[in-house]
Structure 1
Amino acid sequence: MRQSATEIVIATPGQGLHEITRDVVRWTGEQGMATGLLTVFCRHTSASLTIQENAAPEVRGDIVRWLSRLAPENGGYAHDDEGPDDMPAHLKSILTGVSLSIPLVGGRLALGTWQGIYLCEHRRAGHRRRVTLHLLGA
Structure 2
Amino acid sequence: MQTVLISIHLIVVLGLIAVVLLQRSEGGLGLGGGGSGGVAGFMTGRGQANALTRATAILAALFFTTSMALAIMSHRGAAPRSILEGTATGQPATQPNAGNLLDTLRGQSGGAAQPGTPAEVPATQPAQPAVPQAPQSR
Q: TM-score range by the shorter chain?
A: under 0.3
**Greater helix share, structure number:** 2
Question: TM-score w.r.t. structure 2 length?
Answer: 0.21
Which structure has the larger Rg over C-alpha atoms?
2
Whichever structure has more strand as a proportion of its residues is 1
- TM-score, normalised by the number of residues in structure 1: 0.21
